[in-house]
């Protein structure tokens, strides 16, 4: 009751207002001038259709009181919509399953695309079931509180705002404005037209699908366009797409503004332009674009103009070829065409619109009807309609059923209401959805009861689709994606290339058959629309200051970093043992460096080392062959052979430094080196000592030579060597050298080297060699002037000098050049010092043995000694 009182009151007020304004309603020339068609039925639906597309003020004269505006501009397309509603109702009435025993009637009003007309028509419904406002038959029928309509969003908004106070449900077939999904404002608004929100999402998905990140946008100056572009911008921003420009087409034609927009289109680098605009608004801009011959832009059309006959013309195709757009789902309605063709101005006399249809299609006039409507009499000169014209013989928008999109929406709307009524009618008392499980009475349906059933309705329409409304009263949005292609005669053909279904998961909601598309300019490849070219792998995006994220520079990755994907945001450092390739798109394993046997330096060093070994062996051979000769005998030959053996080891030990380091070669390298060198130096030291001893022995009362015989010499050599062996064994046991892949020296290569394990141990080994060689050097230096059979001390001094020099220069070289060159330097030092010893100590002897045998006599040697002594 509490609910009813204000409702009843407003109904009462409205009723009296209408009654005052026009009495009676059903008159041809009432002040309201509502025209329409109706048909009796048990239950009567109200439909609002924009049969005319504008209102005009009839000839004004100062003598008469101004007449109300009249409708003008017959729209045969919306007349087809209206006929589709009648067709659907007829089908339902024939259907024995749907609403059996109940006949549906209709009251259909022409809204003239004008909100005020729509509102008046709607108010006749609100004014109650007792009055009927059709303008030529006043048969009273009981309307149920539901409106099929309105068409445009603006009209629907006006009607819905008013009707909502009565809670009267509306099912619109053409209003797509997202604003109408607002459940708080419009709790009983339903539609079979998809909301623009879905279209915006679909267009965004399309833009994403083809990788366009830089798109221009053009919108009309109305609710539909503004809401759509807003939703579109929000969607694409989420997908990382940037809007290059947004231009608004003024509602009132302004050439200056249109020119400014075309300039912007030409100046922009965006190749893809999305336009959300009503066809009437888009038309002047498109005309200018075509006039200026702006081509090469891929236009993305919204549902409002994609199939517009006004825009899709032969002439416009030059600039608009390949346009892709979202169109309302198209369907075939069986039987509709023959129904549409049945109309005839004489056979359906109570449908005034048929006469107008005739006049528009056949360009003739019935005379009377025109005068009655008070239109300007300018068309009186036209030929008279005979009624013998054949509708089937001419092409016209009315009977063309190839593009049934909105008509199908109307069809769905009527069926949806019928199914809701059917559910309401089938309600069993005691199981009803309302208070106390009551049901509604079909002959006295309350608006809120029908709204309840509309919310709940869910059925499969004959054409296969499942129809229901979501919580906002929106139907599942299915769009066809159409592509403008050229017919042979140059006219535009809308080719179905895919569809968008909002009920499907994102990812599968957009289905496009790319091969079926012909793009702008007749291309078969999708155009590109980017602000900046893609960043190739190997580079990363650097957003330009103050610009959109789609405009960026590509910076190459730094050394050691890569990016392996197009448009990477950053470069990824390579793993430790990897490095970037020169293209910076792949991490490649670093080059592993060590001195190998294969390379030139390795081969050279190996050769030299083997050469050294061979020379040592030959020297040993020569000495052995001439072992009986005085010069060999004079210089304690045992030590000489030991020295040669150790030199051979020294030459050979350099080989352990070449090749890939392994556990064994690392362990062997420094220890073998240390031991052979100590052996070598000890021999030299022993020789020096022998020289010193020999000199002392020539002095009286001295038989030191007895103390330092061959055995003792060998033993002392071995003793010295054992010290080094002990150091090496301790080194190997405590912290032996091991192979390691060293990354710290160079970025781009790994040094495969032997880690010393213990630097102290290495220093001890070197230090011991150094100590022994210094001692040899000092002693040899002291002994260099001593008379001898064959003074070796001079040569030993010299060889030790070379030895020390080599090793002293080795240290800085060793420290400063890591990598295979260190090893090479070390080998070089080993070979150089070994050759130094070999040459300095043995070359003079061999020279005498081989080339000056006359000097190789005891006499000569003695003589030399004597002569030396005497000097
Ligand atoms: C329809 O009317 C017929 C005859 O009056 C009746 O037999 C039938 O039961 C009715 N059907 C329904 C569903 O009410
Ligand atoms: C339009 O421009 C295209 C190339 O941009 C050219 O081939 C064509 O002839 C032009 N048409 C007119 C009418 O100027
Ligand atoms: C896509 O379009 C091409 C060309 O029209 C057609 O041959 C092909 O069958 C279509 N593919 C699908 C999956 O519809
Ligand atoms: C790029 O590199 C990452 C990590 O290295 C890898 O997971 C991914 O598969 C690579 N992508 C391509 C396209 O090579």
Q: What is the DSSP string of 690-713?
A: HHHHHHHHHSTT--HHHHT-HHHH
| Residues 360 and 352: beta-carbon distance below 8 Å | no
Q: Given ligand 2 and candidates 288, 290, 293, which is best to mutate, with the most ligand atoms within 8 Å of its CB?
A: 293
Per-range mean pLDDT, top range of 289-303, 348-362, 525-539, 681-695 = 289-303
How many angstroms separate the alpha carbon of residue 306 from the centre of ligand 3? 21
Domain-wise residue ranges, the chain:
4-57+68-193+399-464, 196-331+476-522, 539-590, 600-734+749-862
CATH of 4-57+68-193+399-464, one of 3.40.50.2300, 3.30.230.10, 1.20.1270.10, 3.40.309.10: 3.40.50.2300
| Residues 149 and 173: beta-carbon distance below 8 Å | yes
Q: What does the pLDDT read at residue 776?
A: 86
| pLDDT per residue as tens digits for the range 837-861 | 899 888 888 888 888 888 777 776 6
Return the ∠ at Cα 342 (arms to 339 and 345), rounded to 5°.
Answer: 135
pLDDT band at 14 (very low <50, low <70, confident <90, very high): very low
Per-range mean pLDDT, top range of 61-75, 297-311, 388-402, 805-819 = 297-311
List strand residue ranges (DSSP E) for 729-825, in order: 738-742, 749-755
Pocket of ligand 3 (CB under 6 A): 513, 515-516
Q: Is 184 exposed, middle or buried (0-12, 13-18, 19+ CB in 10 A)?
A: exposed
| pLDDT per residue as tens digits for the range 646-691 | 999 999 998 988 888 889 888 888 889 899 999 999 988 888 888 7
pLDDT at 376 over 60: no
Percent of the chain with pLDDT over 70: 87
CATH of 600-734+749-862, one of 3.30.1490.100, 2.60.40.10, 1.20.1070.10, 3.30.1360.40: 1.20.1070.10
* Those residues with Cβ within 8 angstroms of residue 274's Cβ, 6 or more apart along the chain or in another chain: 203, 207, 215, 216, 217, 218, 232, 300, 302
Percent of the chain with pLDDT over 90: 25
pLDDT at 5 over 50: no
Protein residue closest via CA to atom 2 of ligand 2: 293
pLDDT band at 22 (very low <50, low <70, confident <90, very high): very low
pLDDT greater at residue 40 or residue 206: 206
pLDDT band at 72 (very low <50, low <70, confident <90, very high): confident
Round to whole Å and give the CA distance between 343 and 354: 7
Q: 69 is written with which tokens?
A: 């505006």
| pLDDT per residue as tens digits for the range 280-289 | 888 889 999 9
Q: What does the pLDDT read at residue 729?
A: 93
Domain at 539-590: CATH code: 2.10.50
Q: What does the pLDDT read at residue 214?
A: 92
Residue 796 — φ and ψ, nearest 5°?
Answer: -65, -45
The atom number, within ligand 2, closest to the CA of 296 reads: 5
| Residues 587 and 580: beta-carbon distance below 8 Å | yes
Round to whole Å and give the CA distance between 678 and 771: 10
Fold equal for 196-331+476-522 and 600-734+749-862? no
Closest to 348 measured CA to CA, from 25, 32, 39, 28: 39
pLDDT band at 216 (very low <50, low <70, confident <90, very high): very high
Q: 494 is written with which tokens?
A: 């809308």
Q: What does the pLDDT read at residue 698?
A: 65
How many angstroms separate the alpha carbon of residue 608 from the centre of ligand 1? 119
3-state SS, one letter per residue, for 831-870: HHHHHHHHHHHHHHHHHHHHHCHHHCCHHHHHHHHHHHHH
* DSSP for residue 465: -
Strands 272-276 and 298-301 turn out to be: parallel
Q: Is the CB of 565 under 6 A from ligand 4?
A: yes
pLDDT at 4 over 60: no
CA 109 to chain centre: 52
What homologous superfamily does CATH list for 196-331+476-522?
A: Response regulator (3.40.50.2300)
Closest to 275 measured CA to CA, from 246, 307, 234: 246
pLDDT at 871 over 50: no
Closest to 566 measured CA to CA, from 531, 591, 535, 603: 535
Ligand lying nearest the CA atom of residue 290 = 2
How many angstroms separate the alpha carbon of residue 569 from the centre of ligand 4? 14
**Other Cβ atoms closer than 10 A to 332:** 12
Strands 298-301 and 458-460 turn out to be: unpaired
- Which region among 33-47, 147-161, 270-284 has the lowest average model confidence (pLDDT)? 33-47
Q: What does the pLDDT read at residue 1?
A: 33
Average model confidence (pLDDT) for the chain? 83
Per-range mean pLDDT, top range of 62-76, 453-467, 681-695 = 453-467
- Which region among 86-95, 121-130, 801-810, 833-842 has the lowest average model confidence (pLDDT)? 121-130
Q: What does the pLDDT read at residue 13?
A: 35
Q: Is the CB of 564 under 6 A from ligand 4?
A: yes
Distance spanning both ends of the chain, measured CA to CA: 151
Ligand lying nearest the CA atom of residue 103 = 1
């Amino acid at each position: 009751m509490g609910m009813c009182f204000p409702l009843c009151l407003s109904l009462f007020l409205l009723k009296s207002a209408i009654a005052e304004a026009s009495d009676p309603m059903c008159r041809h020339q009432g002040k309201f001038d509502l025209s329409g068609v109706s048909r009796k039925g048990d239950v009567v639906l109200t439909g609002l259709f924009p049969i005319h597309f504008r209102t005009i003020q009839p000839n004004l004269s100062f003598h008469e009181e101004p007449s109300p505006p009249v409708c003008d501009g017959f729209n045969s397309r919306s007349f087809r919509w209206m006929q589709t509603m009648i067709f659907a109702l007829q089908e339902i009435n024939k259907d024995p399953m749907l609403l059996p025993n109940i006949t549906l009637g209709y009251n259909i009003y022409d809204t003239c695309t004008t909100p005020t007309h729509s509102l008046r028509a709607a108010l006749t419904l609100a004014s109650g079931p007792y009055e009927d406002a059709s303008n030529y038959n006043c048969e009273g029928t009981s309307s149920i509180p539901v409106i099929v309509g309105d068409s445009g969003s603006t009209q629907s908004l006006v009607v819905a705002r008013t009707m909502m106070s009565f809670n009267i449900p509306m099912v619109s077939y053409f209003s797509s404005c997202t604003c109408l999904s607002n459940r708080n404002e419009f709790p009983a608004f339903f539609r079979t037209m998809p909301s623009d929100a879905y279209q915006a999402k679909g267009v965004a998905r399309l833009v994403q699908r083809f990788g366009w990140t830089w798109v221009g946008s053009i919108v009309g100056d109305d609710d539909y366009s503004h809401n759509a572009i807003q939703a579109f911008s929000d969607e694409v921003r989420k997908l990382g797409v940037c809007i290059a420009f947004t231009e608004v087409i003024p509602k009132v034609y302004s050439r200056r503004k249109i020119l400014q927009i075309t300039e912007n289109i030409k100046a922009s680098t965006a190749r893809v332009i999305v336009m959300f605009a009503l066809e009437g608004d888009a038309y002047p801009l498109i005309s200018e674009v075509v006039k200026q011959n702006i081509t090469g832009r891929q236009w993305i059309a919204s549902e409002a103009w994609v199939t517009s006959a006004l825009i899709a013309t032969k002439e416009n195709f030059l600039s608009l070829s390949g346009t892709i757009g979202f169109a309302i789902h198209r369907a075939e309605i069986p039987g509709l065409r023959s129904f549409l063709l049945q109309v005839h101005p004489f056979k359906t006399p109570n449908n005034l619109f048929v006469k107008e249809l005739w006049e528009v299609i056949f360009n003739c006039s019935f005379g009377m009807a025109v005068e009655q409507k008070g239109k300007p009499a300018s068309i009186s000169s036209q030929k008279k309609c005979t009624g013998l014209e054949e509708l089937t013989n001419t092409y016209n928008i009315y009977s063309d059923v190839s593009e049934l999109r909105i008509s199908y929406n109307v069809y769905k709307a009527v069926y949806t209401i019928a199914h809701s009524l059917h559910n309401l009618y089938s309600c069993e008392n005691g199981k009803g959805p309302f208070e106390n499980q009551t049901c509604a009475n079909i002959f006295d349906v309350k608006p809120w009861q029908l709204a309840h059933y509309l919310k709940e309705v869910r059925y499969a329409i004959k054409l296969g689709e499942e129809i229901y409304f979501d919580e906002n009263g929106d139907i599942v949005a299915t769009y066809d994606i159409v592509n403008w292609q050229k017919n042979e005669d140059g006219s535009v053909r809308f080719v179905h290339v895919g569809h968008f279904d909002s009920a499907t998961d994102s990812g599968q909601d957009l289905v496009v058959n790319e091969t079926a598309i012909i793009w702008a300019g007749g291309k078969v490849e999708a155009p590109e629309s980017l602000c900046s070219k893609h960043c190739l792998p190997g580079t990363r995006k650097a957003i330009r200051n103050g610009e959109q994220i789609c405009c960026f520079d590509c910076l190459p990755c730094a050394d050691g970093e890569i990016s392996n994907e197009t448009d990477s945001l950053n470069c990824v450092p390579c793993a430790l043992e990897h490095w970037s390739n020169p293209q910076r798109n792949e991490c490649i394993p670093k080059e592993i460096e060590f001195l190998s046997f294969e390379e030139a330096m390795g081969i050279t060093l190996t050769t030299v080392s083997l050469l050294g070994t061979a020379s040592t062996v030959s020297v040993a051979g020569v000495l052995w062959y001439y072992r009986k000769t005085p010069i060999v005998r004079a210089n304690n030959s045992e030590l000489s052979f030991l020295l040669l053996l150790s030199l051979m080891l020294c030459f050979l030990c350099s080989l352990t430094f070449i090749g890939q380091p392994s556990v064994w070669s690392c362990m062997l390298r420094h220890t073998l080196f240390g031991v052979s060198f100590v052996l070598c130096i000890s021999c030299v030291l022993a020789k020096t000592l022998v020289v010193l001893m020999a000199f002392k022995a020539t002095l009286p009362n001295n038989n030191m030579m007895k103390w330092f015989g061959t055995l003792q010499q060998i033993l002392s050599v071995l003793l010295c060597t054992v010290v080094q062996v002990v150091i090496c064994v301790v080194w190997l046991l405590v912290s032996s050298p091991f192979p390691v892949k060293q990354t710290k020296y160079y970025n781009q290569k790994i040094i495969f080297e032997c880690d010393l394990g213990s630097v102290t141990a290495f220093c001890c080994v070197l230090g011991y060699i150094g100590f022994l060689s210094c001692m040899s050097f000092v002693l040899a230096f002291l002994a260099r002037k001593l008379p001898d059979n064959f003074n070796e001390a001079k040569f030993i001094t010299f060889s030790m000098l070379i030895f020390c020099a080599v090793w002293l220069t080795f240290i800085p070289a060793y420290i400063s050049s890591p990598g295979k060159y260190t090893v090479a330097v070390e080998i070089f030092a080993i070979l150089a010092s070994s050759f130094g010893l070999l040459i300095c100590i043995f070359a003079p002897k061999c020279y005498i043995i081989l080339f000056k045998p006359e000097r190789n006599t005891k006499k000569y040697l003695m003589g030399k000694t004597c002569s030396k002594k005497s000097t």
